[in-house]
């Protein structure tokens, strides 16, 4: 039994490197991400891919390529995955569950269960001081809801945001969006079935189109400086 999130392309197994766009020379280099295995042409591609996996996964989707599922647990129960008969597809990613009744739960908030497969956790400690978070002291930064232990920590966050976003990402912590509106289309409500994870930040979007715009140019919507290098050119010739 398979539940399909939305109309998708006819997908085939991965045949190209998502970073360079070249045909895969072999399957020696890969990244396991959210219960899926993504193949790359060379080790030089790894940093680019790991910086924003969802960008490159979406590029594979637009080329009609399905990711290889390597999932070993049921994200609903935490038990070992015993069957591959019941699945839900989200663009080119798949989640399997043991009980077909669980599929509707997965379909409502898919990112939650991909987080489980990736081992991501919600924030419970202040990224600055390490103390317990106090909900009333939360603030918004770059579209994310950030918790902290005390108001003075916000000043440090705003002074060096990249430092603290990276600190949370290294701890496999994901922050939720600061509001219900789409970060790309501010007039539209976001939907939990369209999402992207950039480091420690989670974003939901109003549509696949809005999501596509974000993953291609996230800096445009986060008030950041665009990258200076073209990863495709930087990796030209690798295979």
Q: How far apart are the first and last CA of the chain?
A: 38
Give the per-residue pLDDT at 239.
Answer: 47
> Where does residue 74 fall: left (phi above 0), alpha (psi -120 to 50 degrees), or beta otherwise?
beta
User: Structure tokens of 228?
Assistant: 């200076």
Give the predicted TM-score (pTM) of the model. Answer: 0.90
C-alpha distances in Å from residue 6, one per residue of 3, 73, 91? 9, 24, 7
Confidence (pLDDT) at 226: 84
Beta bridge partners of 37: 32, 68
How confident is the model at residue 67, as a pLDDT?
A: 98
199-224 per-position pLDDT tens digit: 999 999 999 999 999 999 999 999 88
* Radius of gyration for the chain, computed over Cα atoms and rounded to the nearest angstrom: 18
* Domain boundary assignment for the chain: 1-119, 121-226
Structure tokens at 165: 């976003």
pLDDT the model gives residue 233 = 54
The 10s digit of each residue's pLDDT in 159-196 is 999 999 999 999 999 999 999 999 999 999 999 999 99
Tens digits of residue pLDDT in 97-142: 999 999 999 999 999 999 999 999 999 999 999 999 999 999 999 9
């Amino acid at each position: 039994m398979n539940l399909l999130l939305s109309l998708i392309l006819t997908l085939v197994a991965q045949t190209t490197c998502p970073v360079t766009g070249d045909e895969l020379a072999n399957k020696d280099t890969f990244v396991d991400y959210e219960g899926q295995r993504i193949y790359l042409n060379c080790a030089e591609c790894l940093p680019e891919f790991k910086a924003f996996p969802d960008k490159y996964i979406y590029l594979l989707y637009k080329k009609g390529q399905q990711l290889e599922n390597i999932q070993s647990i049921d994200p609903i129960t935490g038990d070992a995955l015993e069957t591959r008969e019941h699945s839900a597809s989200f663009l080119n990613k798949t989640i399997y569950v043991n009980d077909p009744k669980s599929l509707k739960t997965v379909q409502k908030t898919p990112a939650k269960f991909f987080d489980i497969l990736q081992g991501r956790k919600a924030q419970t400690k202040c990224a600055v001081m390490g103390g317990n978070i106090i909900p009333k002291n939360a603030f918004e930064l770059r579209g994310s809801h950030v918790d902290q232990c005390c108001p003075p920590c916000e000043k440090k966050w705003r002074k060096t945001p990249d430092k603290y976003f990276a600190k949370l990402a290294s701890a496999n912590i994901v922050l939720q969006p600061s509001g219900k509106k789409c970060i790309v289309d501010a007039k539209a409500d976001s939907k939990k079935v369209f999402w992207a994870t950039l480091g420690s930040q989670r974003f939901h979007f109003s549509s696949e189109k809005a999501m596509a715009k974000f993953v291609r140019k996230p800096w445009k919507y986060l008030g950041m400086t665009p990258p200076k290098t073209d990863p495709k050119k930087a990796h030209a010739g690798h295979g």
